[in-house]
Amino acid sequence: MSGRSEIRPAERDLTDEAISDSLKAPTKHPHADTLLVSIELDAASSPRHCGSRSDGGLLCPDCLQLGRSRRKSALAMDLFCLPDDPAAPTPACPYVCIERWDGGPFRSYAVRKGRAGLVPVSLRNTPGAEVAADALYSENLYPTPQAELEPFLQTWLFFGLVAEVLGLNETAPGMRLVDEETARTEIAELYEVVLVRDGQDGDAQDEGSNSSRSKYITGAVLLQEAAGELFHQRLNLAPDRMARLVDMCDSLRYAVVMLHSIQENVRDAVRHSIVALGEMLTTGLFMAASLSRPPTPLPTVIGLNWFRDYVRAGGAVEAGMLARGWCPSEVDKVRAQFQGAFTMHYASRLRRRAIGQGDDSPSSGYDHGGCSVHACKAFQMDVDTYKPSHAREGCGCEHIEVREADIVRVLRETDSFPVLRLTRGDGDERDGDGDGDEQGQLRLSVEPWTPGVPYVAFSHVWADGLGNPRLNSLPRCQVERISHLVARLEHDVRSSSSSATTTDSTPTTDPSSSTSSANTQPYRIWIDTFCCPIELGGKLLALQRIADVYRQATHVLVLDKALAAFPSVDVHPAELLLRTIGASPWMRRLWTLQEGALAQSLFVQFADRAVDFVALLQDLFAIACTDARYMRIWQDVMSEFNQLQSLSPKRNSAGAVLFNKTPSDLVHLQRALHFRTVSVAADEPLCIATLMGLDTRRVAEPASHQDRMVRVWEQLARLPGVDNGDGNVAQGIPVRLLFFLEEPLDVPGWRWAPRTLLGSSVRDPVLGIDERVVRFVREDGPDALGTPTPLGLRVRLRGCRLVPRPRAPGLPLDPWPELVRKYEDQVLLQRDDGSGSSNDGNNSGRDSSDAGGGGGARWVRIMDWYRSRKIGSWTREQRLEHDTRVGHPLQRAIATGRCAIVYDPQSSPLGPEVRTCCLLQADEMDDAELAAMSSLTTTTDATDANMSSTNTDTTAGDDAGASSPRPLKARRERAVIMSPLSDAEARMMDVLQGLADKAAADPATRELLALGPPPPPPPPPPPPQSPAGEKQKGKDDDKSPVKLGDGGEGKGEGEGEGEGEDKGQESPWKAASTRVRDLLKKLVADALVQHPEVVQTARDYIGPDIDEYLWVLIPKVLSHATVMREVPEGQVWYVD
C-alpha cells in the first residue's frame, strides 16, 4: 500500500522530547541557548544589544533609549502576547510601589519587612525564610488593605523576582553574585526601563515625586536579547551553576504559592502582571535548561501553576469572553484545558466575528443564550427538522443525489468503502479555479476505494448545514464548493511537493506520490452525507468501516464555518492553532473527535486556504524557540494534539494497525470526551467503540443508548490488560469508577457504569474533568480492576458495615425526631472498639492500630458527596429546597441495618486523611448465587452468556473458599466523603455522647415519645401590610451568629417546631418537648463547667458564640450511635 501521509509516523510524534532533539542543528535557532530572546518588533530596523557595557550591566545607553522608544506600544501587561487584531486590549498595570526593592534575599522579604503574617503555612519552613511560630497567619480572616498589599506584592513579586533572575539579589545574607554597588545601580536602572508615565516617553520619577501623571510598568526590556545574555553572565558567576538554577526554581515556586495564597485586595492588572512575569521566567528557565547541550534536568521547574484562577469563574476575564460571544462551556473548556496563562490570555483575545461582519453577528452564527457552563446547545441539531444549507444565502439550486443502492453495494460486496469521483459533463475530472457551470455539470460516481487511490475525507459539523438525515444528497452549490476545496488542496499539496522550498504551512511531500500512477490520479472524496447509507443495515456496515475511512485518507479536511470565516495567510500560527483547538465547534462535537484522532494528515480549512495542522505546530515551535511566551502556548496546543494522537491506533513496521488499547487508555478517552457534545445520544457508544477498537457491529445492534453502552462496557472490560509483574495479565474496569460516578446506567447488573462519558450529557453534573479522569487512572495491584458480572461489578475492597445502636434499650434510633429542625450536613461514625459499647467516655480520639477509612481515627464524619459539591453554588433557598426534598438519605441508609461503606483505595485530592467512599446496601450471597457465580468460570463464550465475566483472574469459587470471607452483593447508593475528627473534636464528642445517653435514659424522653409526633401547625396567617419596599422580618431572618455545620441550626433555625400553636393553649407535646429541651441545655451547661476544654474546642471548630446552642448537636448528630465494623481483609463485593 502506498503511503498516505506526507509526515511519517515517527516524525508526527511531536512530544517535547522529540522536538527538543530536533534542535541539535543550531542554524535555525541561533539563540536557543538564551533564556529570553525577543521577536523583533521591527525586524528590519531594530538594533541588537551592542554589548558595550564593560561591566556587564543591564543595558547600554543606546539600548536604554531603545527600551523607551518601544514603550508606546508596551504599556500594559505587555509580556502577554496577543493576536494581530485582538478583540480587546490588555489592561495597563499601574505602578503602585511605595518603596523600591532592597536587593536582599528574595524569599525572606516578608520577614524583613515585618509582614510575616502574609506568608501561608506551606511556605513558613522555607530554608532561609523561616517564619516565627508566633506569627499567626490571619490573611483569610483579616485581609490586608489593598493600599498596603498591592505595593508590597509588586515590589516583592515583580521587581524582586526580576532582580532575582538577573542575579542582583543576595543569595544568602551578606553573599552576592555581584558587588553591592553594582546591584544597587542595576536595580535603579531596572526601575528606569520598567516605569512609564501615561504612555508617554520621559524619565521616570522617584516615589516621592509630586507628578500627578499616572505611572505604569512595562516588561518590554525583558523581551530583549540583552536580558537573556545578562542572565547567562550572572549564571556563570555562580560557584555551582546547577545549584543556582535550582535556587531560582525554588524562588519561582515560592512566588507562585505566595501569589495564589492572596485571594483578596489585589486588582487583576497587578496580579496578572506578576503572573505574566512568573510564567515567562519559568518557561524561559525550562527552555534554557532543556535546549542546552547536554540538557540540564530541572524537575522542580515543571508544573508551576501560574495560570490558576486566571480565567476565574465570575472574574473579569470570563465576563469579557462571554460579552464577546464565547459560550460559557467554551470558557470552562479554556479554563480546564490549558495550563498556561499566556495561552488563556491569547485565547481570550481572539475575535469571534470575522472582518466585515457586523459587531452583533458572531461569525459562527451560533446563539449561546441557552448554553450553560456544562453544555453548549448552540450547535445541537434536531434530526426531525434539519435541512441542508446552501453555500450562498438566497441560493435555491437543486440537489445532487448519490444513489443509496450504489453505496450499499460497495459495502456489501467488498471489504472496502465507497469514495466519490467528481466529473463534469465534458469528462473533465479537474475542477481548477474556474466556474463550474462553464466546465459542465458535476457528476458524482461511486467506486470502492483501493489502496493507492488518493482521497480527501471531510470532517464537518452538521450544524453548519452539510448533513442530510433523509437522502444522500446536498445542494449543487455545496457540491461545487466541496469540489473547489478539494481541487485547491490537491493543487497546493502537489505544488509544494515539487518545490524545493515553501513559504507557507503546506506539506513538503504528497502522500499519494509513492507510486508513479498515484501522481496522475485526481483526489477522490469521502463525506458521510453521500457515503453513509440512510437505511439501518447499510449504515451499520458503514459504521464498522468508519475508522478505516479516516485512517486511510490521504488527507482529512476540517470544515467549520467558525474557522472558515477567518483568513490564514500572514496570520500567526498561535492564532490559527488556538482558533482550532480552543474556539471551534469542530473541537466540541463527538463525531469529529474520531475523525481528527484517526487522521494521518489533518488540514483545517480557513477562508483563503487549507492549512496543514502539523506544519502549524512546527512553525509555532520555531517561533517559541526564540520567544518563551509562545513556548507555553505551544506546550498547551501540543498537549491537545497529543491527546488526539493517543486515541489513534498505532501501526507496526509493516503498516498494519495494532488495536492494543488497555484500561489505561480510558484516561485519554475520558479527557477527550469531556467537553464534546452529540445530538443523538445513541451515537456516543458507536464513537467510543470506534476510538477504542471495539466490535462496532455488536455495539450497534441494540437501538437504545443504554443497551449500547452496556455493550461498550462489556468490551472495555475485556481490553488487553497490563502485566502485573507476576506473569498474569489483569483485565477489567478500574474500581475507582465506583467512587466518582454520576447518572449511572439503569440496567440490572450495570448500575455501577456511567451512562455517558460526555460532561455535556449529564443532567445534573457534579464531577469536574479532573475527577472524571482520575477514576480511570490505572493503579498497581491485583485489586485495582473490577470485573462485570450479572450481579454487578466484582471488586475486592476494604470497607466496613455500619451498625446503628439506639441510645437506650427499647428506644428508636431517633428518640427526638422533631425536637430541632435537622438538615443532614454530616453523620458521625465511631469505630467498633470490640466492647459492644458505643462509648466508654475515656477513649482517645485516634487508634493507630486501625488504618481503615478515616485514617485510624475513632470518630469520623461522612458527608454526602453531591451535597458537599453543590452547596457552594446554591442559594439559601436552593439548599433548603434540597434538604427538605431529600430529607436524611445517609441516616435512612444506615437505619436499614444493611448499610456498608467501601473505601477508595487511593487518597482523596482533598487531603491525605480525606477519603472518597461509596455507601452501599449489602447482603451476604446465598448458596445459589455463589453457585451461579462459580459456574461462570466454566463458560467458554461470554458473548453467548450475554456477559463478560470469563476473563476473571479470580473465580467466584475462590470467593467462597475456606480462607475467604463470604462475598457480599451490594446496591450502590451514593458517594460520600469521609474525614477524621481531630483529637480535640473527638474528646468533645465523647463528652456529648455521654450526655446523649443520659438524656435518652431520662423519663422526659420516654414521656415525649409516648405522645407520638407533634400536631401539625395551623396555616400561617396572611402577612401584614407594610409600606412599599419594607421587608417583613420573618423566622428565617432571625439567624444565629453561628451555624452548626452548614445547616444553619441556631436560635432561629435550631429550635423546635410548634411555634405556630396557640400560645395560650400549650399542647401536651409542646410541653414535653420543652422539658426535653431544657434537660439537654442543663446537661450541656453543667458539662461545660466540668470540661472547659470542650468550650474552647466548640469555639475553635464551630464558632465563638456557640456555648448557648451546643446542646443542639445531641439531637442533630448524636440521636443514636453508628458503629463502623471493619470487614475482613480481602472482602469481595458484587456492586450493582
- 146 with 287, same domain: the answer is yes
Cα–Cα distance, 956 to 85 (Å, whole number)? 65
- 279 with 320, same domain: the answer is no
- 351 with 295, same domain: the answer is no
DSSP string, 930-945: HHHHHHGGG-S-TTTT
If one compares 476 and 1108, the residue with the highest pLDDT of the two is: 476
Q: 658, 679, 713 — which closes off a domain?
A: 658
Does any domain span residue 349? yes
Highest mean pLDDT among 70-74, 188-192, 956-960, 992-996: 992-996
Does any domain span residue 376? no
Strands 799-806 and 792-796: unpaired
pTM for the whole structure: 0.79
- 8 A C-beta contact, residue 976 and residue 863: yes
With 0-12 / 13-18 / 19 or more C-beta atoms within 10 angstroms meaning exposed / middle / buried, residue 125 is: exposed
Decide if pLDDT at 700 tops 70. yes
Decide if pLDDT at 106 tops 90. yes
Does any domain span residue 871? yes
Q: What is the mean pLDDT of residues 276-295?
A: 80
- 699 with 653, same domain: the answer is no
pLDDT band at 1036 (very low <50, low <70, confident <90, very high): very low
pLDDT band at 1090 (very low <50, low <70, confident <90, very high): very high
Assigned C-alpha cell, 906: 487511593
- 818 with 932, same domain: the answer is yes
* Structural domain for 762, as ranges: 665-781
- Cα–Cα nearest to 311, from 320, 303, 301, 302: 320
Does any domain span residue 23? no
Decide if pLDDT at 28 tops 50. no
Does any domain span residue 368? no
- 763 with 877, same domain: the answer is no
Decide if pLDDT at 652 tops 60. no
Q: 729, 757, 781 — which closes off a domain?
A: 781
Whether residue 1104 is preceded by a cis peptide bond, meaning omega within 30 degrees of 0, is no
Does any domain span residue 9? no
pLDDT band at 815 (very low <50, low <70, confident <90, very high): very high
- 589 with 635, same domain: the answer is yes
Calculate the alpha carbon distances from 1058 to 473, 614, 717 in Å: 71, 72, 56
Q: What is the mean pLDDT of residues 1000-1026?
A: 78
- Listed in sequence order, the residues at least 6 apart from 500 whose beta carbon sits closer than 8 Å to its beta carbon are none
- 880 with 937, same domain: the answer is yes
Decide if pLDDT at 851 tops 50. no
- Cα–Cα nearest to 925, from 705, 695, 1132, 701: 1132
Q: What is the Cβ-side half-sphere exposure of residue 277, based on CA atoms within 13 angstroms? A: 32
Decide if pLDDT at 960 tops 80. no
Q: 658, 679, 696 — which closes off a domain?
A: 658
768: left (phi over 0), alpha (psi -120 to 50) or beta: beta
Does any domain span residue 813? yes
Per the document, the length of the chain is: 1136
- 281 with 326, same domain: the answer is no
pLDDT of residue 174: 85
Torsion of CA 122, 126, 129, 131, to 10 degrees: 40
- 182 with 213, same domain: the answer is yes
Decide if pLDDT at 418 tops 90. yes
Q: Which of 188-202, 252-266, 1040-1054 has the lowest mean pLDDT?
A: 1040-1054
Based on C-alpha coordinates, what's the Rg of the chain?
34
Decide if pLDDT at 109 tops 60. yes
- 78 with 121, same domain: the answer is yes
pLDDT of residue 1018: 66
pLDDT of residue 345: 93
Decide if pLDDT at 279 tops 80. yes
E strand or H helix at 130, and its extent?
A: none
- Listed in sequence order, the residues at least 6 apart from 415 whose beta carbon sits closer than 8 Å to its beta carbon are none
Q: Which residues pair with 1133 in a beta bridge?
A: 795, 968
Does any domain span residue 68? yes
- 108 with 232, same domain: the answer is yes
Q: How many domains does the chain have?
A: 6
Q: What is the mean pLDDT of residues 403-408?
A: 95
pLDDT band at 932 (very low <50, low <70, confident <90, very high): confident
